[in-house]
Structure 1
Amino acid sequence: MTWEDAAKRFRSHQSSTHGLSPVTGPSISPAPVNRRLSFAQESRDVDMDTSPTQQHAQPALSEPRIRTPLPSGPRPDNKHVSLPPFPGFDSFRADLQGSADRILASPFRSRYANVSVLLVRWQDDDDPGVQSAINELAKTLHEIYHYTVHIKSIPSSTEGSRSPWLWLSQVVTDFVAEHNQRDCLRIFYYSGYSYLDADRQSVLASSKHADPATAIRWSGIQQLFENSRSDALLLMDCAYYPTHSATRRFGMLELIAASAGEDHVELLGRSAFTRALTEQLRTRAAQPFREPFSVAELHSKLTSLYPGMVQERNPGKQAIASFPTPLSMQLSGTKTLPSILLAPLRHDAPSASTNGLQISMTFRLTDDPFNMDSWAEWLRTMPGGIAEVRVEGPYRDTFR
Structure 2
Amino acid sequence: MNISSQYDRQPFSPFPPIEEQFHPPPTSRDLDHLQYHISLQEIGKQLQDAANAAYPHGQQSRYSNIYVLLLCWEDEDPKLPVSIEVQELHSLFEELYDFDVELWKIPAHSSHNELNRKVLDFVSLGGDCKDDLKIVYYGGHGMLAHNRQASWASRPDPKDPKYRTVKWNGIQHALEEAESDVLLLLDCCASGTATGNPDEGHGVTELIAACGFNTVANPVGPDSFTRALITELSLLSRMGPFTVGTLFNRILCRAQNWMPSGREVQKAPLHVVLTQAKKLPRGIQLCTRKQKKTPKQSPRNTSTSSLESTSSDPSSLQSGESSISSVSSELDVYPRIAITIRLQETLSQSDFSVGLFSEWIRMMPVLAKNVKVEAGFASFSTLLLVSIPVAMWCYIPSNPAISVAGIIRSPNLVPDVTLIPESVSSSPVKSASKNSEVNPTPSSLGWGDDTKAFLRLYKFNVSEQDEPYFELLPEIDATSRLPSQVYLDTSRCVPPHSFLIPSH
TM-score (norm 2): 0.43
Closer, same or farther in 2 for the Cα pair 1:271/1:226, shift >3 Å? farther
- How far apart are 1:138 and its partner, in Å? 0.7
**Letter paired with 1:199:** N
Equivalence map 1:1-400=2 (5 Å): 109-127=60-78, 129-156=81-108, 158=109, 163-179=110-126, 180-210=128-158, 214-238=164-188, 239-242=190-193, 245-246=196-197, 248-265=200-217, 272-286=224-238, 290-309=239-258, 311=259, 313-314=260-261, 320=264, 322-330=265-273, 331-334=275-278, 336-345=280-289, 346-347=291-292, 384=322
**Letter paired with 2:286:** L
CA RMSD between the two structures: 3.0
Do the aligned partners of 2:81 and 2:220 also contact (CA within 8 Å) in 1? no
Percent identity at matched positions?
30
Higher strand residue share: 2
- How far apart are 1:189 and its partner, in Å? 0.4
Do the aligned partners of 1:154 and 1:164 also contact (CA within 8 Å) in 2? yes
In the aligned structure 1, how far is the partner of 2:70 from the partner of 2:194?
A: 23
Closer, same or farther in 2 for the Cα pair 1:327/1:244, shift >3 Å? closer
In the aligned structure 2, how far is the partner of 1:258 from the partner of 1:267?
A: 11
Q: Secondary structure at the match of 1:236?
A: strand
**Where do 5+ consecutive residues of structure 2 fail to align?**
1-57, 295-319, 324-504
**Where do 5+ consecutive residues of structure 1 fail to align?**
1-106, 350-381, 386-400
Closer, same or farther in 2 for the Cα pair 1:211/1:176, shift >3 Å? farther
Closer, same or farther in 2 for the Cα pair 1:270/1:167, shift >3 Å? farther
- How far apart are 1:217 and its partner, in Å? 1.1
In the aligned structure 1, how far is the partner of 2:222 from the partner of 2:115?
A: 22
Do the aligned partners of 1:187 and 1:233 also contact (CA within 8 Å) in 2? yes
In the aligned structure 1, how far is the partner of 2:81 from the partner of 2:219?
A: 16
- How far apart are 1:220 and its partner, in Å? 1.3
Closer, same or farther in 2 for the Cα pair 1:211/1:217, shift >3 Å? farther
**Deviation per CA, 1:148-186, whole angstroms, max 9, x where unpaired?**
000011112x3xxxx111000000000110121111000
- How far apart are 1:384 and its partner, in Å? 4.1
Do the aligned partners of 1:251 and 1:334 also contact (CA within 8 Å) in 2? no
Closer, same or farther in 2 for the Cα pair 1:206/1:267, shift >3 Å? closer
In the aligned structure 2, how far is the partner of 1:197 from the partner of 1:142?
A: 34
**Letter paired with 1:333:** A
TM-score (norm 1): 0.53
**Deviation per CA, 1:3-44, whole angstroms, max 9, x where unpaired?**
xxxxxxxxxxxxxxxxxxxxxxxxxxxxxxxxxxxxxxxxxx
In the aligned structure 2, how far is the partner of 1:169 from the partner of 1:146?
A: 26
Larger radius of gyration: 1
Number of equivalences: 234
- How far apart are 1:221 and its partner, in Å? 1.1
Closer, same or farther in 2 for the Cα pair 1:335/1:284, shift >3 Å? same
- How far apart are 1:206 and its partner, in Å? 1.2
**Letter paired with 1:122:** W
**Deviation per CA, 1:207-257, whole angstroms, max 9, x where unpaired?**
221469831111211111111100000000013243665353312000001
Closer, same or farther in 2 for the Cα pair 1:306/1:262, shift >3 Å? farther
Closer, same or farther in 2 for the Cα pair 1:245/1:281, shift >3 Å? closer
Do the aligned partners of 2:192 and 2:209 also contact (CA within 8 Å) in 1? no
**Letter paired with 1:119:** L
Closer, same or farther in 2 for the Cα pair 1:271/1:308, shift >3 Å? closer
